Amino acid sequence: MVINLHPTQEQIIEFCHSNTIIDTLNVDVVPMDDGSVHLELLVEEKHTNFCDICHGGVLTTMADTAMGIVCNERNKSVVTMNLTITFIRPVNKLVKITAVPRILHDGHKTMVCECDMVDETNKLFAKAQATFFVIGDFIKME
Amino acid sequence: MVINLHPTQEQIIEFCHSNTIIDTLNVDVVPMDDGSVHLELLVEEKHTNFCDICHGGVLTTMADTAMGIVCNERNKSVVTMNLTITFIRPVNKLVKITAVPRILHDGHKTMVCECDMVDETNKLFAKAQATFFVIGDFIKME
Amino acid sequence: MVINLHPTQEQIIEFCHSNTIIDTLNVDVVPMDDGSVHLELLVEEKHTNFCDICHGGVLTTMADTAMGIVCNERNKSVVTMNLTITFIRPVNKLVKITAVPRILHDGHKTMVCECDMVDETNKLFAKAQATFFVIGDFIKME
Amino acid sequence: MVINLHPTQEQIIEFCHSNTIIDTLNVDVVPMDDGSVHLELLVEEKHTNFCDICHGGVLTTMADTAMGIVCNERNKSVVTMNLTITFIRPVNKLVKITAVPRILHDGHKTMVCECDMVDETNKLFAKAQATFFVIGDFIKME
What DSSP letter does each residue of C50-105 carry, written as one string? TTSBB-HHHHHHHHHHHHHHHHHHTTEEEEEEEEEEEE-S--BTT-EEEEEEEEEE
Nearest to D81 by CA among D139, D132, D134: D132
How sure is the predictor about D90, in pLDDT bands with cuts at 50, 70 and 90?
Answer: very high
Considering only CB atoms, which chain A residues are within 8 Å of C67? Answer: none
Asked if the Cβ–Cβ distance from D83 to C47 is below 8 Å, we say no
Residue A54 lies in a domain: yes
Residue A1 lies in a domain: no
- pLDDT score recorded for residue A140: 74
Count of CB pairs separated by less than 8 Å, B with D: 33
Alpha helices in chain A (DSSP H): 9-18, 20-24, 56-73
Asked if the Cβ–Cβ distance from C104 to A114 is below 8 Å, we say no
Residue D4 lies in a domain: no
DSSP state of B47: G
Residues of chain B by 3-state class (helix, strand, coil), percent to 5: 25, 40, 30
Nearest to A44 by CA among A68, A65, A28: A28
Q: Stretch B8-33: mean pLDDT, rounded?
A: 96
Residue D114 lies in a domain: yes
Give the C-alpha separation, B103 to B110, whole Å.
11
Query: What angle, 0 to 180 degrees and rounded to 10, lies between the N-to-C axes of helices B9-18 and B56-73?
Result: 140
The amino acid occupying position C77 is: S
Give the C-alpha separation, B37 to A41, whole Å.
30
Asked if the Cβ–Cβ distance from C114 to A127 is below 8 Å, we say yes
- pLDDT score recorded for residue C4: 60
Considering only CB atoms, which chain B residues are within 8 Å of C105? Answer: none
Residue A101 lies in a domain: yes
Considering only CB atoms, which chain B residues are within 8 Å of D105? Answer: 88-89, 124
Asked if the Cβ–Cβ distance from B133 to C81 is below 8 Å, we say no
Domain containing A89 equals 9-137
Give the C-alpha separation, B6 to B72, whole Å.
9
Asked if the Cβ–Cβ distance from A112 to C86 is below 8 Å, we say yes
Count: domains in chain B: 1
- Could you tell me which chain C residue has the CA closest to the CA of B85? C84
Q: Stretch B54-72: mean pLDDT, rounded?
A: 98
- pLDDT score recorded for residue A6: 85
**ipTM surpassing 0.90, yes or no?**
yes
Residue B3 lies in a domain: no
Q: What is the pLDDT of residues A38-85, one digit of tens each?
A: 999 999 999 999 999 999 999 999 999 999 999 999 999 999 999 999
Alpha-carbon distances of C31 from C10, C13, C15, C26, C28, rounded to whole Å: 9, 8, 13, 16, 10
pLDDT of residue D52 exceeding 60: yes
Look at residue B98 and give its three-state secondary structure: strand
Interface test with D, best of B60, B102, B129 (most D CBs within 10 A): B129
- pLDDT score recorded for residue C41: 98
Nearest to A64 by CA among B59, B22, B27: B59
Give the C-alpha separation, D36 to C108, whole Å.
45
Give the C-alpha separation, A91 to B114, whole Å.
24
Q: Stretch B76-90: mean pLDDT, rounded?
A: 97
**CATH number, residue C64:** 3.10.129.10
Count of CB pairs separated by less than 8 Å, C with D: 117
- pLDDT score recorded for residue D141: 61
- pLDDT score recorded for residue B111: 98
Paired strand residues for D79:
D133
- pLDDT score recorded for residue D93: 98
Q: Do the Cβ atoms of A129 and C86 come closer than 8 Å?
A: yes
- pLDDT score recorded for residue A3: 59
Interface test with C, best of B82, B83, B84 (most C CBs within 10 A): B82
The answer to whether the predicted template modeling score (pTM) of the entire model surpasses 0.90 is yes
Look at residue A62 and give its three-state secondary structure: helix
Considering only CB atoms, which chain A residues are within 8 Å of C104? Answer: 86, 88, 124, 127
**Better-scored residue on pLDDT, C138 or A141:** C138
- pLDDT score recorded for residue C56: 98
Q: What is the pLDDT of residues A94-126, one digit of tens each?
A: 999 999 999 999 999 999 999 999 999 999 999
How sure is the predictor about D61, in pLDDT bands with cuts at 50, 70 and 90?
Answer: very high
Residues within 8 A of D (CB atoms), B 52-111 only: 84, 86, 88-89, 104-105
Asked if the Cβ–Cβ distance from A82 to D131 is below 8 Å, we say yes
Q: Stretch A15-25: mean pLDDT, rounded?
A: 96
pLDDT of residue C1 exceeding 80: no
Contacts of A22 (CB under 8 A, 6+ apart): A16, A29, A39, A61, A65
Considering only CB atoms, which chain C residues are within 8 Å of A117? Answer: none
Considering only CB atoms, which chain B residues are within 8 Å of A24? Answer: 24-25, 46-47
Asked if the Cβ–Cβ distance from D131 to A81 is below 8 Å, we say yes
Asked if the Cβ–Cβ distance from D86 to B124 is below 8 Å, we say no
pLDDT of residue D135 exceeding 80: yes
Interface test with B, best of A18, A53, A60 (most B CBs within 10 A): A60
Residue A142 lies in a domain: no
Helix H or strand E encompassing B53: none
Considering only CB atoms, which chain D residues are within 8 Å of C64? Answer: 55-57, 60
Q: Do the Cβ atoms of D63 and C85 come closer than 8 Å?
A: no
Considering only CB atoms, which chain D residues are within 8 Å of A131? Answer: 81-82, 131
Helix H or strand E encompassing D54: none
Interface test with A, best of C111, C129, C131, C132 (most A CBs within 10 A): C129
Asked if the Cβ–Cβ distance from D80 to C18 is below 8 Å, we say no
Task: Kindly state the percentage of chain A with pLDDT values over 90.
Answer: 93
**Better-scored residue on pLDDT, B112 or B2:** B112
Query: What angle, 0 to 180 degrees and rounded to 10, lies between the N-to-C axes of helices A56-73 and A9-18?
Result: 140
DSSP state of D125: E
Task: Kindly state the percentage of chain C with pLDDT values over 90.
Answer: 93
Query: Chain A: nearest CA to C19, how far in angstroms?
Result: 26
How sure is the predictor about D4, in pLDDT bands with cuts at 50, 70 and 90?
Answer: low
Considering only CB atoms, which chain B residues are within 8 Å of C133? Answer: 109-110
Asked if the Cβ–Cβ distance from C86 to D82 is below 8 Å, we say yes
Of C86, C88, C112, the CB nearest to A86: C112
Residue D2 lies in a domain: no
Of D50, D65, D81, the CB nearest to C19: D50
- pLDDT score recorded for residue C5: 74
Decide if B113 touches C, using CB distance below 8 A.
no
Q: Do the Cβ atoms of C117 and C126 come closer than 8 Å?
A: yes
Considering only CB atoms, which chain C residues are within 8 Å of A124? Answer: 104-105
Asked if the Cβ–Cβ distance from B49 to A83 is below 8 Å, we say no
